[in-house]
Amino acid sequence: MRIRSLLAGSLAMLLLPAAAHAQVTIDVTKITCKEFLIGRIVPTKSMALWFSGYYNGKRGTTTVDTAAFQTNVDKITDYCALHQDVTVMAAIETVLGIK
């Protein structure tokens, strides 16, 4: 019984440090179109949703037009394919005219 407790405690101690290193912060202003397209930093869909929420929040919009969302993502993706060194935020502002 004592050996099981010791083994369980040892296993728990090995797993705890892995969970402690899971937090990462990302400066989205520095994500390039290339990184966005390949999903290097964050999966592309997740990043597109984040940017949509960010810019809608800046405008005070609380609704999401899913058809317009996909159209806008397609426009940004096309632009980014041709301008891979530009930041995604600059691409969004250029393509959609959002400041």
Structure tokens at 62: 């609380």
The pLDDT assigned to 71 comes to 95
Overall pTM surpassing 0.85 (yes/no): no
Q: Using the predicted structure, report yes or no on whether residue 70 has a pLDDT greater than 60.
A: yes
Residue 84 included in any domain? yes
Domain interval for residue 44: 23-96
What is the number of structural domains in the chain?
1
Q: Is the pLDDT of residue 46 over 60?
A: yes
- Dist. CA 97–CA 84, nearest whole Å: 19
Residue at 3 is within a domain: no
User: Is position 1 within any domain?
Assistant: no
Does 8 have pLDDT greater than 60?
no
Residue 14 lies in a domain: no
Residue 16 lies in a domain: no
**36: domain CATH number?**
1.10.890.10
The pLDDT value given to residue 90: 97
**8 A C-beta contact, residue 98 and residue 45:** no
As given in the structure block, the two tokens for residue 38 are 């390949």
Q: Which amino acid is at 39?
A: G
